Amino acid sequence: MQDREQGDSSECPVKTPFIKSSPGSPCAFTSFRETPRRKRTTKGSWVRFGLQQTPYIDYAEGVYRYRFQSPIMVDRDGFLTSSDFGLSSHLNLPNNYGDVHVGFYNGDGYNKAEANDQKGFQVRASLRPLAGVAIAKGWRVTGYWNTDHVAKDQKKDRWLVDTTFEHPYVNLGFTYLEATNQASPGAAEVKPRDFSIWVTPRTTFGLEALIRYDELKPNKDLNQKQKRTIFGVAYWFSFGHGVVAALMADTTREKFDNYTPAKSDNKNYALHTLLNF
């Protein structure tokens, strides 16, 4: 049974690469919830087992809604996966002060078979520090931690901090991530760093802009950097009846510094569309 209560951000068609929530998709899951008369959890709280969305990407794309142009930094750069098989629980804090999502997952993602007995633990906690202040209630601060192993004695850890602000005329966000990887069991640890900053100025008649900058340092001990700049203009159509559509013209530029062998810079122009119903 899928749980679509207010406060549950799991709207699969918008947040995942699949449109329908069918068996085998990232949104096929079993959901368990306590009956309302017991009142032990807040509205929007649940427990799920099965193939489901992981704690961070689904949450982040509830604010950053341009996945149809490009995944968010942690997904595009390969640090996190949007869905996986596991057992997780979500709790909404009272009075809209935030939420917590915690779970155990296979760790290989929805598009890979389970490789071994290693499991990943993920937890995200998001707070609205000024939920009671009208002009500042759209501000959220998030912490996320993922500890996992590709194989025994082969680390794959990630942690990040995130802050976002939502307003009728602008959404903006900043994410900073650190990771620990090992190429093989017992190998030296490699520690990448990644950050992303973005802003989407908005109008009341559907016209929006996207300005985003990502910077990846694949190894903190080296001077290599990958810099990505995205700029686009979008129009969001208002059809009602649950139909969401958008048209976006955008450009993406990627620059690679101090790579050996050298990597060529990239510049792409694109026209993206979204239709969801």
Q: pLDDT tens-digit profile of 150-195?
A: 888 899 999 999 999 999 999 999 999 999 999 888 889 999 999 9
Q: Quick one: what percent of the chain has pLDDT higher than 70? A: 85
Whether 223 shows a pLDDT value over 80: the answer reads: yes
Please tell me the predicted confidence (pLDDT) of residue 101. Answer: 98
Write the pLDDT tens digit of every residue in 210-219.
Answer: 999 999 999 9
Residues 136-147 have a mean pLDDT of 97
Position 110 confidence tier, pLDDT thresholds 50, 70, 90: confident
At 41, is the pLDDT very low, low, confident or very high (cuts 50, 70, 90)?
low
Q: What average pLDDT does this structure show over 131-138?
A: 94
- 227 falls in which pLDDT band (50, 70, 90)? very high
The residue among 4 and 71 whose pLDDT is bigger is 71
Instruction: Kindly list the domain boundaries of the chain, sorted by start residue.
Output: 12-276
Query: How far apart, in whole angstroms, are the C-alpha atoms of residue 13 and residue 125?
Result: 24
Pick the CATH number of 12-276 from 2.40.160.10, 1.10.3470.10, 3.40.50.10860, 2.40.480.10: 2.40.160.10
For the record, the structure tokens of 155 come out as 């680390």
Q: What is the pLDDT of residues 58-70, one digit of tens each?
A: 999 999 999 999 9
Binned at pLDDT 50, 70 and 90, residue 197 comes out as: very high
Element housing 120 (H / E) = strand 120-127
Main-chain phi, psi angles of 72, to 5 degrees = -65, 165
d(CA 15, CA 12): 5
